[in-house]
């Protein structure tokens, strides 16, 4: 399948219209094939304090787009025979052996728990079938945080990981803090901080020089602000920043990066694990990232319980999907044009991407705004897909 002629002009029109309508404060969109970048553009503002325009080299908080990178790093450990996907992890990370399953709350609001029916494995963590949830979409997790005075996950403090499971591992799909625990597993296996492992084994080999937990001065100078909407619909810049001296480097949400860097990661997936300097992941492990690993456990829409941070989430509305070792995997074609078998995920500040192995392309649509999954930002992601695959937008 070839990309539709004129898609570049259509993406340009979609981006410009979204900024003009204040759907987003600013946006970078970029498309790649297996060989290199075939389109990139930036529109709108990186910050309204200044102000500064958004540029293709702007640094953004990629938030949960961190998760697939951490999943790939964990699969490098599998490739090297350090750990197996179905190996119980308690011997490697003793804290995972202490995790219990939430059964309810007593009359004083204290969480009640029991031992899990089976051991947690890397398979459970990578596919989000572990039982861990998120405070953004689970009232029970939110209630546990309140009862135990736990910090929020955005604080990057170890106490945020002390939540019980919502169900036995392998029972269903639930989006949550599994990737933060995957980062802890990597640290235990490697004996290194997560950031060092990522740089030496994934980011540097893929030439992703502008992706990091800690912002260098040159990255800080290009950093786009996270924005919130004013009452009149305009945008204001905030000072939201991932802690730069965290208790732990958050494998679920902690990275900053650029559009160009993330396309390098997408190209690695399109090239069966090969980067510009050679293979970083085996074709077999890439295959587990491309194909559903959850069987009959479908990805379900998530209802927000913290609307100021995140709206209800249905990344590809109406499209059945499962989860691989790192990505949402579509089980049917989408109305926006994505073929079945496409891969996708997103980040809290309304950053989005997809990988289309059938066509051999990947793309990112990066803004910096809250709440996550705001219908106007999510609609922009879908309109960019339509510009790439479908008829010219009006």
Candidates 47, 67, 138, 342; catalytic one: 67
What is the overall mean pLDDT for the chain?
96
Nearest to 369, CA basis, from 55, 47, 16: 47
Separation between Cα atoms, residue 125 and residue 122, nearest integer Å = 5
pLDDT of residue 390: 81
Candidates 64, 179, 225, 334; catalytic one: 64
Nearest to 317, CA basis, from 273, 376, 378: 378
Separation between Cα atoms, residue 154 and residue 267, nearest integer Å = 29
Is 225 annotated in the active site?
no
CA distances for 371 relative to 73, 228, 347, 375, angstroms: 29, 8, 11, 9
Biggest CA-to-CA distance, the chain? 64
Is 67 annotated in the active site?
yes
- Tens of pLDDT, residues 147-192: 999 999 999 999 999 999 999 999 999 999 999 999 999 999 999 9
- Tens of pLDDT, residues 180-208: 999 999 999 999 999 999 999 999 999 99
Separation between Cα atoms, residue 93 and residue 303, nearest integer Å = 31
pLDDT of residue 394: 42
pLDDT of residue 327: 98
- Tens of pLDDT, residues 308-317: 999 999 998 8
pLDDT of residue 391: 58
- Tens of pLDDT, residues 283-294: 999 999 999 999
Helix axes 259-270, 283-290, angle to 10 degrees: 110
State what percent of residues in the chain have pLDDT above 70.
98
Q: Match 């995997």 to its residue by tokens.
A: 329
- For the entire predicted model, the pTM comes to 0.97
- 207: preceding bond cis by omega (within 30 degrees): no
pLDDT band at 2 (very low <50, low <70, confident <90, very high): low
pLDDT of residue 392: 41
Structure tokens at 79: 């490739």
Strands 343-347 and 351-356, sheet pairing = antiparallel
Separation between Cα atoms, residue 273 and residue 128, nearest integer Å = 22
Candidates 175, 248, 256, 352; catalytic one: 175
Q: Are 363 and 354 a contacting pair, CB within 8 Å?
A: yes
Beta bridge partner(s), residue 228: 236
3-class SS at 167? coil
- Tens of pLDDT, residues 236-250: 999 999 999 999 999
pLDDT band at 1 (very low <50, low <70, confident <90, very high): very low
Rg (CA), the chain: 20
Write the secondary structure of 119-143 as one string of H (helix), E (strand) and C (coil): CCEHHHHHHCCCCCCCCCCCHHHHH
Structure tokens at 386: 């339509």
3-class SS at 43? strand
Separation between Cα atoms, residue 269 and residue 325, nearest integer Å = 12
H helix intervals, 256-337: 259-270, 283-290
Is 64 annotated in the active site?
yes
pLDDT of residue 172: 97
Separation between Cα atoms, residue 327 and residue 223, nearest integer Å = 26
């Amino acid at each position: 399948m070839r990309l539709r002629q004129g898609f570049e002009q259509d993406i340009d029109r979609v981006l410009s219209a979204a900024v003009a309508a204040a759907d987003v404060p600013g946006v970078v969109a970029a498309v790649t094939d297996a060989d290199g970048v075939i389109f990139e553009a930036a529109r709108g503002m990186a910050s309204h304090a200044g102000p500064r325009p958004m540029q293709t080299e702007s640094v953004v908080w990629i938030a949960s787009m961190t998760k697939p990178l951490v999943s790939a790093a964990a699969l490098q450990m599998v490739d090297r025979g350090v750990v197996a996907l179905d190996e119980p992890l308690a011997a490697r990370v003793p804290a995972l052996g202490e995790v219990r399953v939430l059964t309810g709350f007593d009359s004083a609001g204290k969480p009640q728990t029991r031992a899990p029916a089976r051991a947690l494995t890397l398979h459970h963590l990578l596919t989000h079938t572990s039982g861990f949830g998120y405070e953004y979409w689970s009232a029970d997790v939110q209630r546990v945080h309140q009862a135990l005075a736990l910090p929020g996950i955005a604080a990057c403090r170890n106490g945020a990981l002390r939540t019980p499971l919502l169900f036995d591992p392998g029972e269903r799909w639930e989006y949550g803090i599994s990737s933060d625990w995957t980062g802890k597993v990597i640290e235990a296996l490697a004996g290194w901080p997560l950031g060092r492992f990522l740089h030496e084994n994934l980011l540097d080999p893929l030439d992703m020089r502008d992706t990091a937990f800690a912002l260098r001065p040159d990255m800080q100078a290009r950093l786009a602000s996270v924005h919130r909407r004013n009452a009149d619909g305009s945008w204001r810049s905030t000072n939201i920043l991932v802690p730069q001296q965290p208790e732990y480097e958050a494998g679920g949400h902690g990275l900053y990066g650029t559009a160009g860097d993330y396309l390098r990661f997408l190209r690695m997936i399109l090239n069966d694990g090969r980067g510009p300097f050679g293979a970083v992941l085996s074709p077999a492990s890439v295959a587990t990232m491309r194909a559903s690993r959850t069987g009959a456990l479908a990805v379900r829409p998530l209802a927000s319980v913290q609307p100021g941070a995140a709206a209800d989430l249905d990344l590809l509305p109406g499209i059945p999907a499962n989860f691989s070792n790192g990505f949402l995997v579509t089980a049917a074609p989408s109305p926006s044009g994505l073929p079945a078998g496409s891969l996708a995920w997103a980040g809290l500040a309304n950053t989005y991407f997809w990988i289309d192995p059938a066509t051999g392309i990947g793309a990112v649509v990066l803004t910096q705004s809250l709440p996550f999954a705001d219908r106007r930002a999510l609609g922009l992601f879908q309109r960019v897909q339509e510009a790439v695959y479908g008829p010219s937008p009006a």
